[in-house]
Amino acid sequence: MSTPAATMAVAELATGAAVIEIRGDVTAACEQALMTAHEQATDAGAKLLVLDFSAMEYMNSGGIGMLVTLLVRGQRRQQRIAAVGLTEHYRQIFELTRLDEAIGLFDDTDAALASR
């Protein structure tokens, strides 16, 4: 039984900032969708990428690996990556894996934008 991959929706937040709304299961299977969303946001000139996890239902360790890859892509383009909408469970996973040292964690998109 295959796990349905997450869907990604890109929207502009402000000049130079975009949000990627992630919905569903975050696993390695959605890497292509996330990289496509990243390219879309980059083509629109985003230097701040906000990953909105509020509609994420599940994440496995493949999801963490995928975020590491996204980080590398973002760093190559001098982009900052932030995350919003994480429940306490997922926030602790980001802290355990020390992903929070590279991806800023914020309560909402306004806070992420204010950090620029």
Please report, as ranges, the residues that interact with other proteins according to CB under 8 A: 57-62, 64-65, 68-69, 71-72, 75-76, 87, 89-90, 92-93, 95-99, 101-102
Nearest alpha carbon to residue 97 among 57, 67, 55:
67
Query: Helix 31-43 and helix 61-76: axis angle, to 10°?
Result: 20
Q: How far is the CB of 19 from other proteins (least distance, A)?
A: 22
State phi, psi for 4 to the nearest 5 degrees. -65, 135
CA atoms of 94 and 63, how far apart (whole Å)? 11
Q: How far is the CB of 3 from other proteins (least distance, A)?
A: 10
Q: Which is nearer to other proteins, 99 or 111 (CB)?
A: 99
Q: Which is nearer to other proteins, 33 or 100 (CB)?
A: 100
Residue 30 in tokens: 């959605």
Q: How far is the CB of 15 from other proteins (least distance, A)?
A: 28
